[in-house]
Amino acid sequence: MSSRFRRPALPLFLATLAVPLAGGRAGAAPTPRTYTLIRLPQDPVVDGRLDGEDAWRDAQPSSDDFLVLGAETPASKRTDFRAGYTGTGLFLGLRCEDPQPGTVGALVRHSAPLWEQTGIEVFLQPQGSDAYFHFLVNAESVQWDDIAGEGQGESVGDWKAAVHLGQDAWFAEVLLPWEILGRVPQEGETWRLNVCRNIQTPGGVEHATWMPLESSFHEPRRFAEVAFAGEISAALQAAARERIRAERGRRGARRTTGEALLYAKSLSGVYLQRGDDAKRVAFVHGEEVLPRLAPDGKRFLFHSRQQGRRGVWLASVEGGAPKRVCDGYQADWSPDGQKIVLARDGVLFERVLDTGKERRVSPEGLSDCRLPSYLPDGRVLFVSHAEGADSMVVAAPDAKAAPEVLAQGEIRSAPNASPDGTTVAFQNGAHLHLLTVATKAATQLTTAGGVQSWPMWTRDGRSLCYCQSPQGADGPWDVYTLRVAEPQGVRLVAREVEPGPDWQGNTPPTSTTVHLKGSDLQVWRLGSGASVSTLGDLQKGWAKLPRDAAGPVEGGVAVRNDWGVLCLSTTASAIGLWSPPNPGTAAPVALAVTDAQGKPVGKLSAVAVEKRGGDSVVVKASFAGGSEAAFIVSRTSPIIEVRPGETFGRLRLRFRAQLALVPDRLADDLILRPALCSPPASLLPAAHLVVTPLATGLLAVVTPADQQQVWLSPTREKDAFEGLDVSPAGNSVFLAALTEGDLHHEATPKREAGTDGWTVEWPDAFLAQWRLALVGTDLAHSAMWDEEATAELGDGQVAVKRLTGAPDLAVRYAYGRSWHTPLEVLTLTDVLQDAVGLGATLALTEAQAVRAYRSALPPGALHGLLTTQRERLWPENCRGWPEQLNFAPELMLLGWIRLVKREGVEGSIGHLTGDIVQSLTQLDARTEEFARFARELDRFCWKTASPSAGARAFLAETRKRLQALRDSVSGAALTPVARVSACVEAIRGRFGSGGSLRDRKEYGDFCDLSRAALAGRQSVLTEYRAFARSARDQAGLLAADDPATRDLCEEVRRRAGQVLANRCYLEGDWRGEKPL
């Protein structure tokens, strides 16, 4: 694995040079500390829960204080550990004192290296070895390991760790199997050990160590000597040695031709990785390279547009010129390596490589077929797209026969069959699923945030490798692996590859391990006296229901997954959602059902478990008034789906909050505060996502149907919101309480002295696609802050420039993912993707409308090249996306051209100058679009009559602002495109005169005029965009304050959103959004 993922021994030393050493300490021998490792009576359960476990009863806790690294000062927080061993391996249990253990997740600085995050580190050196093992686990169970010393620096292997949050401490439990340590100790044998802890403090990271160390955790000569006491039985020793031999065999296999990872890297080529070594085997790049290794490991396929059309190419892993096989794409090898299957114009063909003979595989009349692969028996598995849905299909031997449909969904990458052919791994939406071919039953496998795709089985069928990306079709992609039997533990294999790599082998080399939620789904019967005041009270009367239990449940039920607990109590006639599911958690989100006018429908009269599967539980709730609803709780996510019955009116949620957010990427987010809303309830403008910050995290409400409506309910005093109502309109509503990580932060903006800028406090947070929304009187401003931007924030604040008013509140929240967002953290985009799917998420978030753009009129290929994300020539050293872009790349390239009489020179000049002229022409057309919008909106305001005083005032003010806008832009002096074109002709007149164009006056005139022409148009468009944003924002706030204006406000918002979408690239005002 690349050294960028390993912790070197020196950085911590360098980082701690400033730590003063205690007097007389340098060079002195450490105070002797000893510990006896006892043989434990049984293997502890590695779940982070130490108290009360019999396996630990005889293991004594360490008695010495942990010390600050390089000093004799005790660490600020106490740490104790106990250790022992069995025939399985060495076990450690740690207690890390913390008065607020529930906040350690927020203290995990995900933007920092793992060893600078809240966590523990274990160093272990076997007797007689010069190398030592290094294990690390942070407070969110993310693991990392290597073998250090004597130039080792390699991944260790599979080991276990788990973290549990207690009342006044957090606990970690670690298992280090003998097979990864390479030997079984004998009774009386001594090894070297040290345990360290990284503690987040207000002043930074405090490094604490059990053994006194001088300046670095990597001082093995100062590790403590620990003795093994107690003999392991001969049978257990023999079993452990057999596992050690097997592990050595697996490691050795990674260095042979039998284990290989084949992948493409952008603008670099195709790489073959064996073990920790990777070499480039072909220089090719572009979309869908999709390299595929032959079964014999000697050849590989890839795809390229070389020679004009997409084609399949064949190359040797030893190098040499590749050979074009045929037109097509998405090819894959047959199990015997003699044939390939490929897609061509939506039809699948099987081709014999030696003869070139082809036969059609996909059925006649089925045109949109793609992503083929083979089952072990030679049949072809593929994906067909029709009527907005993807089908996973097995082709019949005869293309005229009907195929067998295995599953339907959003299948965006190639399905892959297990080596024995009984199971198919496939992508459905954002996650991987496993389907049993015989029964067609499917279960969700992966639960990480982001998108998992391109599954690849290991040869033994026990594990999968796959691609992990932040969201949708956006890269970059990493390769991870998991064991099918334990899918919540995922390990990193490779970073930043192109989608669709290929894997052959059993044991991919890995580094970081992440432990994810999604393994638990339980149903409990509530006691007859159950209270819903706290979860702890509720649990007193619980009785676990058998897995096959279904039907009515007297008293009610509680459904628990790894994220929370949903309780439906007929005794208390109440429904409550607790998240996280901690016994002391109080004040749940209360749920109820009302009629269409918001009045109660009666008590919760009956609860029944309607359906129970491996991935979800469906609970049917019946109310005295006749209303019914189904509550679906998933094993794999925090989302609760509420499916209304026929007489269902509204879903009511009750909680206490100070604000609510309606994200709006086309304009600005609506930040709604109680003082601005009218009790008893304010009808929100049309929105598919409403977010409410709560004390425990974010509550997200997803309403995917256009007819659905949401009301916010302020208290009578208008000092808080007491909840919201949702009208489902016959469609499902999705709820999710997100509590992992510090997902939002509120701050008061501060004026930058002497400027028009403001600064906003930005406490350290994990890397993500953050959204920052500011609000004040007559002001709203929202922008995305992505990984590139936030990674450079070292002063704990961000600057916001050129605001038109004074903001009084700033809200930062985790909207979506970026490359380094922790897999265990779920963002709002993750919720949307799991609730409604990948395609619907793009539509509901208006991602295409916000990120799509036009460049030139007519379109210019060169401008498209210069503005693509991967190959753009725009400055890279800006924080986030530039506010405005210019012609710098074209003008720079133009100036390099020498005016010689040579074929292609005149064409290059024509391309570059023409691109500028065409871009200005497009901006003129865009300006006319805005002018037309302004005229039509003015006419709408003039014609619209409303009985509402607020509406009349809004219409009058909008017309007044429209007149001011017209007056401003009509006075703009814009350089005509014709003048710029005349300069082009002057440049053409110098063709053949020799020398560089940049030395000619004509070039300087062209640069000055084109820059002036662009700046003038950008200035006008900036005014238009500011007005359209403001009109959309103000209409949203008015709709929330005065429900009588809703239709009027929705029309204004629709018109403004329409003109803000599909901008020109050079229009600016990107506000952190990345163009597609």
- CATH number assigned to the domain comprising residue 266: 2.120.10.30
Residues 581, 241: Cα–Cα separation, whole Å: 41
Assigned domain for 362 exists: yes
Assigned domain for 457 exists: no
Tokens of 1065: 């690239």
Quote the crossing angle between the two packed helices 905-943 and 1001-1041, to the nearest 10°: 30
Residues 733 and 682 placed together within one structural domain of the fold: yes
- What is the pLDDT, as a whole number, of residue 102? 57
**Closest residue by Cα to residue 40 from 239, 236, 247, 242:** 236
Residues 538 and 590 placed together within one structural domain of the fold: yes
Other beta carbons within 10 Å of 600:
15
**Closest residue by Cα to residue 142 from 467, 516, 562:** 516
| Sequence-ordered alpha helix ranges (H) in 463-579 | 535-539
Domain stops at, among 689, 721, 738: 738
Residues 759 and 879 placed together within one structural domain of the fold: no
**Prior bond of 476 cis (ω within 30°):** yes
Matching residue, tokens 């009907």: 402
| Sequence-ordered alpha helix ranges (H) in 612-703 | none
Residues 315 and 394 placed together within one structural domain of the fold: yes
- What is the pLDDT, as a whole number, of residue 904? 74
Residues 318, 315: Cα–Cα separation, whole Å: 9
839: helix, coil or strand? helix
Residues 227 and 264 placed together within one structural domain of the fold: no
Q: Among positive and negative, which fits the CA dihedral 139, 145, 149, 153? A: negative
- Phi/psi of residue 90, each to 5°? -95, 130
Assigned domain for 768 exists: yes
- What is the pLDDT, as a whole number, of residue 530? 54
Residues 817, 837: Cα–Cα separation, whole Å: 16
Residues 732 and 751 placed together within one structural domain of the fold: no
Specify the pTM. Answer: 0.82
13: helix, coil or strand? helix
Assigned domain for 59 exists: yes
Residues 151 and 290 placed together within one structural domain of the fold: no
- What is the pLDDT, as a whole number, of residue 659? 93
**Closest residue by Cα to residue 292 from 265, 270, 322:** 270
- What is the pLDDT, as a whole number, of residue 24? 34
Residues 123 and 41 placed together within one structural domain of the fold: yes
Residues 85, 231: Cα–Cα separation, whole Å: 10
* Range of the structural domain that residue 580 is part of: 529-738
Domain stops at, among 708, 738, 768: 738
Contact by Cβ (8 Å): 262, 280: no
Residues 384 and 264 placed together within one structural domain of the fold: yes
**Closest residue by Cα to residue 636 from 737, 523, 518:** 518
Assigned domain for 464 exists: no
3-state DSSP of 65-105:
CCEECCCCCECCCCEEEEEEECCCEEEEEEEEECCCHHHHH
Number of independent structural domains in the chain: 5
CATH number of the domain at 717, please: 2.70.98
Assigned domain for 588 exists: yes
Residues 981, 372: Cα–Cα separation, whole Å: 51
Other beta carbons within 10 Å of 1004:
13
Tokens of 1075: 């163009």
CATH number of the domain at 771, please: 2.60.40
Walking along the chain (1076 residues) 10 residues at a time, the average pLDDT comes out as 32 31 40 85 91 89 90 93 95 90 53 74 92 88 74 65 85 94 91 93 87 91 92 89 81 61 87 82 85 93 88 92 94 94 95 95 86 93 90 81 89 95 96 96 96 94 94 82 92 89 84 86 80 62 84 91 91 87 71 88 91 91 91 96 91 93 94 85 91 91 94 90 94 92 88 82 86 88 84 72 83 91 93 94 88 72 48 38 65 84 78 88 94 96 88 93 94 91 86 82 92 93 94 92 88 95 85 78
Single-letter amino acid, residue 399: A
Other beta carbons within 10 Å of 41:
14
Assigned domain for 848 exists: no
Residues 96 and 218 placed together within one structural domain of the fold: yes
Residues 283, 267: Cα–Cα separation, whole Å: 8
Quote the crossing angle between the two packed helices 905-943 and 888-896, to the nearest 10°: 160
- What is the pLDDT, as a whole number, of residue 168? 84
Strands of 628-634's sheet, edge to edge? 551-552, 604-612, 616-623, 628-634, 639-644, 733-738, 697-702, 689-694, 660-662, 670-672
Assigned domain for 21 exists: yes
State CA 679 to chain mean position distance: 37
Residues 426 and 331 placed together within one structural domain of the fold: yes
Contact by Cβ (8 Å): 263, 499: no
Residues 200 and 308 placed together within one structural domain of the fold: no
Domain stops at, among 251, 275, 302: 251
